[in-house]
Amino acid sequence: MLEVGSGNGEHLDFVKHGFDEYVMIDLRKTLLNSKWGADNRVRTLEGNAEFMPFEAGEFDRVISTCLLHHVDNPELVLNEINRVLSENGVATLFLSCDPGLAVRTLRRVTVAKSARKKGFQGYNLMIAREHRNHFGSLLEMAKFAFRNREIQVSYYPFGLKSWNLNGYAILTIGNSK
């Protein structure tokens, strides 16, 4: 299993299926907690998701959570995930539906409001810099990168087939066509 953009392993506690090896790649050095740091099945690697140092088809399972909005070239990352995913492998990508209406509205009445009250005036600029890749563009790039695989898009929390009316989407990429 490979987690792309793993951070410090915050997602490990949520992995429900078994694994023989869990490889984590992130631009920054991963600092695992004591539980996962002692697990010899977990391996961390500093590296760029745009050019991963793995063999083609090396992984049966790839996950990426909250990464693609932040990278310089999401198309390269998607192509790399497709490259390292085995023919019958499964990839799961979690994407915020930013800049959808639901996300912007929720952000405006919660975090942005709190930031303004605390005197932080650059919240919208920070979001513009950090979430520079638009959900609609990411979805089209994913459809193209995985055009030879089955793709399922599930929207949450409302289940409506609209990124404007949901908070996030999960793309499940399956077997080659």
Tens-place pLDDT, residues 14-32: 888 889 999 999 999 988 8
Tokens 């929720």 map to which residue?
106
Q: What is the pLDDT of residue 17?
A: 80
pLDDT the model gives residue 75: 98
At residue 177, does pLDDT exceed 80? no
Q: What percent of the chain has pLDDT over 90?
A: 79
CB 152 within 8 A of CB 141: no
170 and 154 in contact (C-beta within 8 Å)?
A: yes
What pLDDT digit, counting tens, does each position of 120-131 carry? Answer: 989 989 988 888
Q: Work out the mean pLDDT of the chain and round it to a whole number.
A: 94
* 12-to-36, 113, 176 alpha-carbon distances in Å: 8, 32, 27
Q: Give all domains of the chain, ordered by start, each with its CATH number.
A: 2-99+132-176 (3.40.50.150)
pLDDT at 175: 86
Using pLDDT thresholds of 50, 70 and 90, give the confidence band for residue 155.
very high
Could you identify the residue written with the tokens 């950090």?
130
CA distance 38 to 126: 36
Residue 94 pLDDT greater than 90, yes or no:
yes
CA 112 to CA 49: how far, in whole Å?
30
Task: Please choose, from the candidates 54, 49, 46, the residue with its C-alpha nearest in 3D space to the C-alpha of residue 76.
Answer: 49
User: Strand pairing of 85-96 and 168-176?
Assistant: antiparallel
Confidence of residue 37 (pLDDT cuts 50, 70, 90): confident
- Phi then psi for residue 13, to 5 deg, are -65, -15
% residues pLDDT > 70 (the chain): 100
**What is the average pLDDT across 89-108?**
95
pLDDT of residue 95: 97
Residue 173 three-state SS: strand
pLDDT at residue number 176: 79
Structure confidence by residue, pLDDT tens digits, 41-57: 999 999 999 999 999 99
Query: Token digits for 114?
Result: 């709190």
How much is the average pLDDT of 88-107? 95
Q: Which parts of 14-165 fold into alpha helices (H)?
A: 34-37, 74-84, 101-109, 111-117, 123-130, 135-145
